[in-house]
Chain A
Amino acid sequence: MAFNSPLMAQLALGLVLAVGAMSPASAQSSLGQSGLVGTPEGITIVTDQAQWPKTFNEAPQLADLVKQGKLPAVKDRLPQDLMVIKPVKEIGKYGGTWRRGFTGPGDDENGNRINASDRPMLVDHTGAKVNPSLAKSWKMSDDGKVFTLNLRRGLRWSDGAPMTADDFVFWFEEIYSNKEILPVGIPDMTPAGKPGKIVKVDDYTVNFVFEVPFYLFEDLMGGDTLIGGGQAVRQSNKRSHGAYAPAHYLKKFLPKFMPGGADAANAAARAEGFDSWIARLHFKKDWTLNPELPVLGPFRTVQPINNAVWVMERNPFYWAVDTAGNQLPYLDRVQMTVVENLEVLNLRAMAGDYDLQERHIDLGKLPVLLENQARGKYKVHLDLALNGTDAIYHFNQSFDADAEIAKWLRNADFRRALSLAIDRKQLNETFWLGVAVPGSTAPGEALPYFPGPGWREKWSTFDQKTANEMLDKIGLSRKDAQGFRVRTDNGQRLRIQIQAVQAFLPWPKISEMVADQWAKVGIQADVRDTERNLAFTRTQNNEHHIMVWNNGGTELLYLFPRHAIPVDPTEAFMGPEHAKWYASGGTQGKKPEDPNILKMLELFTSAAGQKTDERIKTAQEIWKILIDQQYAIGTVGQSPALMGVRLVSERLGNIPSRNCIAQHCRTPGGAHPETWFYKN
């Protein structure tokens, strides 16, 4: 027999993983036994100044530059208000290139996330607590109208220029308020439709001032939001948000600061090959494209993203040190190689071509990934998500093209019955290798918004008999010759369409299985495997019946609500017309008739002005309505399917055994890559 024992062990493990999916609890415990799922751990920020290091070290390359007089001494590059980090395990050493794969210029998030510490505040490894980052502290006034950021004194951009409150004011006045760059304000700065503003108190104190109480702003600033997201993600790839920008560098590209105004700015832009000054500004403020741009994250681009290899090097002015006084990051550079397709990326990862890769790794390949651990010299970690479901079935509540279909999409018992008809265990074993947790759309217990015991299971267990009874009772008892239920208006078979996109998960295939399960209770569902652009266009035109996606991000309901409730017209799967109505303040779209939807929207609106405890209760209320009404059916979630299968080189140190994977954790940036290092 050619099978060697490690392989057998992996097969056995696969069985354990599959069998373990009997119930949520046993799935988690068998995962625990597999050794693939670690315990969440993260860095510690030392705030007691007595424990701060008094002398500092730097990378040998930077020491050489200091000797040549090209760079100030390390102690002069660091801020007075230091960020002192105690790494996960040990003090590291300098050197090494982190090899990684990316898919091209559209994959800027691959690098943005590594620079996630360039935001005022950053969530810790639990995903629930916010740590200081650029700001050493912050405060919301008692009346909820003034939010104050206290920046680190002596903070510097990667070119050595000071970073101060002026950079916040510059962003607010010259970028955010410039209608040519950003035609409209963002909800993050406009509570109850009333625009807020950014005011400088002194060089290191910034106030965000609002007309109405906006307690939620503290969460927004700490989350992966338009306002709190930081420079790397919010100002790359033609985006223009992020609360601050390097005034000293970007001013010279704005017409206002040019002698000849807009004409001169456009002429200068054309001379450099851009169509307009706006196009040039989009390029100049994009850290992935412009190596000159001053940044605040641990790495800066040296070879832009629009090449076969995207290369970043350490920021010589990075403002954090370890407890021994070594300036971070330890790693010299990050080198990402473009791949043309994800199969090759996964194969290269198995060959050990990447040192740490969690992005684009396919959960379905877990057995092969494990099989090749030794030869690829890496270790596999499974990190579990916090959101409720990786495949969520949104019922379009504003659908109106077919009155009969619309009637059933809006019928709560119809939705509940279809949810009961789903065999989540079968889905879990087939598509998640049994490692995920079946249940409703509600977030996991780790987060404060968890609505309470029982709500992960409500209407979300497998019960064909009840489902059939409910469907009979609501008036769908008549069936055709093949056993499918028929429409009440013309007696023909009732056909519901599921619009599925092949994106993060094989949603079309998953939906085929769901359709098979629904067929067993007499409901015909047609899966429409739709190209992504087309799907989004159809959704915006209110043409879909049911849309499948994931609900990642909804675990922090207020920061990323669009896949839970219809408030954001961008991806309003649950009812595009209702979302338009809500977002436009009632001037466009269609007002929901369902009192429960109105109740939810009302709760959501009121939450912005509520203090933390009350706001959490409001979110739980919204979740309870969502789950009881089953506007969206949850299937299987809290899995490693999105960025949770992590391959780590045996040579890397200070790697947490479990990462937080969530949008707001900025996987892997929330784990502070600046503290990772090569042991040999």
Chain B
Amino acid sequence: MLTYTLQRFGLALITIWAISVISFVIIQLPPGDFVDAYIASLSASGSMVRQEEAQALRQLYGLDQPIWVQYWKWASRVAQGDFGTSMEWGRPVTEVLGDRLWLTVAVSLAAIFLTWGIALPIGIYSAVRQYSMADYAFTLIGFVGLAVPNFLLALIIMYFGFVLFDLNVGGLFSAEYQLAPWSWGKAKDLMAHLPLPALILALAGTAQLIRIMRANLLDELRRPYVATARARGLAEWRVIVKYPVRAALNPFASTIGYLLPFVVSGSIVVSLVLSLPTVGPLLLRALVAQDMFLAGTIVLLLGVLTVIGTFISDLILMWIDPRIRAGIHG
């Protein structure tokens, strides 16, 4: 068991290193570099950067060195916990990320719990009452939810929220709390802004999870052990929740590997549409501006979290599913 864990850990380290190399290379792939992006954005405001100045800027950022030198400088700093300074924001990467990380976690967790809160009961109900009117209704809504892109839903909900209910549009804080230090008022303001983005983020995942839950549970319900349990006179509620639901939960657990990075980055497109001050839009912006340190750090963080998440989901699977536990021991 220990060697198994150590092996996994060693593999995880190699995977993370590979991720760092690949992410660095991918960020370098588009033509040009940060200075080109900077020149392009300056020219939009009528400013002029001459070739010689651009070259001086490249030297300043070390962009004139070969890519492997740049990678080595970056990686050795990261290994020491120094993620560098974001070129675009002119602040340490950790600070730029730190501002947004907690808000992102708050929005994403709210979305995940909402997803589960909606999807699990509906999935169970649809499976148990298969082909009922409600099942058809949920199936219809589920398919619509799957088919409509999230960002479109976000735009529509945002527009009607504004027109019909005078909802504050976009963002997580009202103007008066933007600058205020944390207080009850600010927390309440955040709570008031949270449901809309959380709901939109949750809806797409919900439809998918309902379908998975329903299908899995249907499989389980037809198993002989369910019939046996019923024959033995167990209460119907207990029969369903205690065994088949638990078995059907496996896919939920195995998706946790992908949930962790989601928690940190959020849905990029939806966050962008709703103008949430989360990590997703930051990543997009860093990629467009070719801000290597910021983009590299975020991509690396996402990679690391995926690896950790996968590891955790393995552990959780062992915990909720006795069959897997048995598999390892045997």
Contacts and interface: CB of A to CB of B under 8 A. Distances in A.
Interface string B162-206: 100010111100010011000000000000000000000000000
B272 A347 contact: no
A351 B175 contact: no
Nearest to A239: B47
B38 to A, nearest CB: 7
A279 B40 CA distance: 21
Interface string B74-91: 000000000001001111
B52 A341 contact: no
A338 B100 CA distance: 13
Interface centre among B38, B47, B60, B178 (most CB of A within 10 A): B47
B228 interface: no
Nearest to A501: B40
A570 B43 contact: yes
A10 interface: no
Nearest to A306: B89
B91 to A, nearest CB: 5
Interface stretch (A101-109, A155-163, A197-205, A600-608): A101-109
A310 B49 CA distance: 25
Given A109-B45, A308-B178, A663-B46, A533 B91 contact: no
B30 interface: yes
A661 B47 CA distance: 17
Interface string B48-67: 11111101110010100000
Nearest to A311: B179
A343 interface: yes
A503 B45 CA distance: 12
Interface string B239-263: 0000000000000000000000000
A106 B92 CA distance: 16
B281 interface: yes
Contact of B48 (A181, A286, A552, A570): A570
A569 interface: yes
B96 interface: yes
A345 B49 CA distance: 29
Interface string A567-604: 01111000000000000000000000000000000000
A224 B46 contact: yes
A280 to B, nearest CB: 11
Nearest to B47: A239
Contact of B272 (A233, A341, A553): A341
B277 interface: yes
A653 to B, nearest CB: 21
B60 A273 contact: no
Nearest to A282: B60
B169 A351 contact: yes
A624 to B, nearest CB: 25
A282 B57 CA distance: 11
B295 interface: no
Contacts of A337: 171, 175, 178
A335 B40 CA distance: 26
A343 B273 contact: yes
Contacts of A279: 60
Nearest to A538: B31
Given A183-B53, A309-B178, A347-B170, A533 B46 contact: no
B179 A335 contact: yes
Interface string A265-307: 0000000011110110011001001000000000000010011
- The prevalent SS among residues of B at the interface is helix
Interface string A477-504: 0000000000000000000000000011
Contacts of B57: 238
Interface string A317-355: 000000000000000000101111101110110110100
B43 A340 contact: no
Contacts of A226: 48
Contacts of A343: 155, 273
B162 A351 contact: yes
Contacts of A345: 275
B52 A303 contact: no
Contact of A183 (B42, B52, B90, B276): B52
A534 interface: yes
A224 B223 CA distance: 78
Interface string B143-176: 0000000000001001100100010111100010
B139 interface: no
A534 B30 CA distance: 8
Contacts of B43: 536, 570-571
A395 interface: no
A275 B60 contact: yes
Contact of A533 (B30, B60, B158): B30
B274 interface: yes
A237 interface: yes
A9 interface: no
Contacts of A289: 90
A99 interface: yes
A654 B238 CA distance: 73
Interface in B191-232: none
B297 to A, nearest CB: 16
Contact of B36 (A341, A348, A533): A533
Contact of A351 (B31, B56, B168, B179): B168
Specify which of B60, B168, B170 lies most central, judged by the most chain A CB atoms within 10 Å of its CB.
Answer: B170
A106 B53 contact: no
Given A347-B170, A533-B30, A341 B41 contact: no
Contacts of B275: 339-341, 344-345
A352 to B, nearest CB: 10
A532 interface: yes
A353 B162 CA distance: 12
Contacts of B47: 233, 239
Contacts of A109: 45
B39 interface: yes
Contacts of B48: 226, 562, 568, 570
A650 B103 CA distance: 34
Q: Which of A184, A344, A345, A353 has the most CB of B within 10 A?
A: A344
A518 interface: no
Contacts of B92: 273
A241 B96 CA distance: 28
Contacts of A347: 158-159, 162, 169-170
B40 A532 contact: yes
A536 B36 contact: yes
A182 interface: yes
A560 interface: yes
B271 interface: yes
Contacts of B53: 182-184
30 contacts: A105-B88, A183-B53, A183-B55, A183-B56, A184-B53, A186-B50, A239-B42, A275-B60, A282-B60, A289-B90, A303-B179, A306-B90, A308-B178, A309-B178, A335-B175, A337-B175, A337-B178, A338-B277, A339-B275, A340-B170, A340-B272, A340-B274, A341-B275, A344-B274, A351-B162, A532-B40, A534-B32, A537-B32, A537-B36, A570-B49
Given A339-B275, A503-B44, 9 more contacts: A237-B42, A306-B91, A339-B171, A340-B170, A340-B275, A341-B275, A351-B169, A552-B46, A560-B46
Among all A-B residue pairs, the 9 with the closest Cβ atoms = A344-B275, A344-B170, A183-B52, A340-B281, A109-B45, A184-B52, A340-B275, A306-B89, A663-B46
Interface of B: 30-32, 36-53, 55-57, 60, 62, 85, 88-92, 96, 99, 155, 158-159, 162, 166, 168-171, 175, 178-179, 271-277, 281, 285, 289-290
